[in-house]
Structure 1
């Protein structure tokens, strides 16, 4: 089901036909540079099922991002509710991951801005956060272009990773409803 349309993209729930393309994208060293490693086909299937279940429960998830013309899967962009597990939960975060072949076309910004609008206007959220490792300069730059501000006091060690892991440390960005300026 398509949830959000933009001029060039359709953000929708996941289909089983997405698995192969999403798996291939998650083998690319450029894409997973700031992630713990590649995803197996089982991890891809579990991820897609979990996102669709989250959407059914909360009306938001990391949505499959596709090109409006032709329908090619380019990655994901979306909002995910965290009831616990993070030091600043409960919260809703915005996240994205695009295949490297689609970088540099402003697809992530277009989709993320539409998701922020959806979160604030349709879901009634007061705040949306985002986080990544400090070295992920591309994502951090996008967070800032979207109007998000770093909360240095909120930086944290990601609880899903062992203490001392090279990707454990994360920076936190926040955006409140009144600060969002749709493009």
Structure 2
């Protein structure tokens, strides 16, 4: 999969993405709505997992780069929701969209631009019927991206993330949906 927007190239991972991905996933500000920042080793494991999922199912989260310069700016993509998380969300949705961008490019509208392109790809090329996005309820920047991409909040589907222990402050999640 390779998708071009006005300013982005969304593409599969390449080996040269390992270090910049580790930098993004190791940034405490980027990861402020996640339980932890990732170490270089953890980011490498996530990179390897993404490569395996891409090979297995044909799509997964991948790299985002600036079209004009080729600079790596983050990760974005569509992915199958893990069963445990899927079961916690009303309607048991199968596919999610998500992103994490380097903070040097925040506020430029790149995440919604990439998300709109991926939604079009998911509905057009992959023939998906529905795509969801979810995040910690306090992650207002990500929720704004979901809205700018055309997704609608589904309060009845909000859930407590099953991969976080009871009482964890990041456990409450909101759900946004969009259908073909």
TM over 0.5: yes
The structural deviation recorded for 1:63 is 1.1
Task: Tell me the residue number matched to 1:50.
Answer: 49
Q: Deviations over 1:48-78 (max 9, x none)?
A: 1111221122222111111112211100111
- Give, in whole Å, the separation in 1 of the partners of 2:145 and 2:94: 20
Task: Tell me the residue number matched to 1:122.
Answer: 125
Which stretch shows the higher mean deviation, 23-32 or 159-168?
23-32
Aligned structure 1 segments of 4 or more residues deviating by more than 3 angstroms: none
Secondary structure at the counterpart of residue 2 of structure 2: strand
Task: Tell me the residue number matched to 2:64.
Answer: 65
Q: Deviations over 1:8-51 (max 9, x none)?
A: 11111112221211112223222111011111111111111111
Task: Tell me the residue number matched to 1:96.
Answer: 99
Structure 1 residues 83, 36: CA separation in 2 closer, same or farther (over 3 Å shift)?
Answer: closer
- Give, in whole Å, the separation in 2 of the partners of 1:14 and 1:146: 23
- Give, in whole Å, the separation in 2 of the partners of 1:150 and 1:94: 14
| Residue 81 in structure 1 maps to residue 80 in structure 2 | yes
Task: Tell me the residue number matched to 2:153.
Answer: 150
Cα root mean square deviation, aligned: 1.3
- Give, in whole Å, the separation in 2 of the partners of 1:13 and 1:118: 14
Task: Tell me the residue number matched to 1:7.
Answer: 6
**Preserved contact between residue 31 and residue 97 of structure 1 (Cα < 8 Å):** yes
**Preserved contact between residue 93 and residue 130 of structure 2 (Cα < 8 Å):** no
- Give, in whole Å, the separation in 1 of the partners of 2:12 and 2:48: 10
Secondary structure at the counterpart of residue 108 of structure 2: coil
TM-score (norm 1): 0.91
- Give, in whole Å, the separation in 1 of the partners of 2:5 and 2:100: 17
5+ residue gaps, structure 1, are 178-183
- Give, in whole Å, the separation in 2 of the partners of 1:4 and 1:54: 18
The count of corresponding residues between Structure 1 and Structure 2 is: 176
1:36-47 to 2 correspondence within 5 Å? 36-47=35-46
